[in-house]
Amino acid sequence: MESPKSANLSAMSTYLARLGARTRSVGSVLCVGMDPTPEALPAGFSHDLAGVERFCELLLEATLPYAAAVKPNLAFFEAFGSAGIATLERLRALIPTDVPFVVDAKRGDIGSTAARQAVALFDFLGCDAVTVNPYLGSEAVEPLIARGDRFAYLLCRTSNPGAGELQSLWVAGDPDSGAPAEPLYARVARRARNWGPGGTVGLVVGATASRELAEIRAIAPELALLVPGVGAQGGEIEPVLRHGPASAPPAGEWPGGGLLVSISRGISGAVSDAGSTPGVHAPDAGATLAAAASDWSVRLRLPS
């Protein structure tokens, strides 16, 4: 019998179904990150918004064949004001509809504000999924997780060095829900299981916290994970591929188990890294980006 939470939604209308189809198509859980800064652009690209747009166009052209999803960081475009948002809108138009567009926005506010954020992100920018700060609770998150065809990844245990300052704080057990005393990140994972209409909530869990990743997966075996921190931040692939895929519906029923592993500098920085090698001629930027994406795609091949 169909769950009331999934009633009136055709299977392929959901974000998890679209992600699963794309993951199967490319055979990988690679999510290509897009967070360009002018000063970090390789030689041949102007250190301004025009250079950023040109580089991102090349990045998309080179990496889309290998990408299960694309994840721009909204702040890197907002920093240029309205012109930066217009640039992101043009880049979004280059991404085929079968490639999930996940915007790292880290939104989250009181309900009325979150409702307007949902309109901006989903209706105007065309996001398939967004990252959300759950700190204000389920009521504030609700507008961003209420749509059956869109998705929100809640910040749970992030990859930055200072993540544990608050996320690892111990919280008391909750006799009403039966939750034990546990770290805050664990409580977020536990609560998130019951938020939204079903199939619209996942978690952000950093690869730099492999022990916590395994713990969170045990608490929430059905939730999709977006995992940053592999590569430049030092996170290891093996624990992510072992614990990252969901083992239960809704995410667990799709190829890859709803897992996305975000790689940004590991791909976009490949051109600069190749160009800085002594005795090596300046690389073909597009070919270098494609080679980096191909390599990461193989390393993040679809878990069996």
Would you write out the chain's pLDDT as a tens digit for each of its 304 residues? 333 333 333 445 899 999 999 999 999 999 999 999 999 898 889 999 999 999 999 999 999 999 999 999 999 999 999 999 999 999 999 999 999 999 999 998 998 999 999 999 999 999 999 999 999 999 999 999 999 999 999 999 999 999 999 999 999 999 988 999 999 999 999 999 999 999 999 999 999 999 999 999 999 999 999 999 897 777 899 999 999 999 999 999 999 999 999 999 999 999 876 554 444 444 689 999 999 999 999 999 987 6
CATH 3.30.390.10 matches 15-298: no
CA distances from 53 to 34, 45, 56, 59, 88 (A): 11, 10, 5, 10, 8
How high is the pLDDT of residue 7? 35
At position 267, the amino acid (one-letter code) is: I
Give me the catalytic one of 54, 106, 193, 301. Answer: 106
User: What was the pLDDT predicted at 3?
Assistant: 35
Q: What's the pTM?
A: 0.92
Known active-site residue 71: no
Residue 281 DSSP code: P
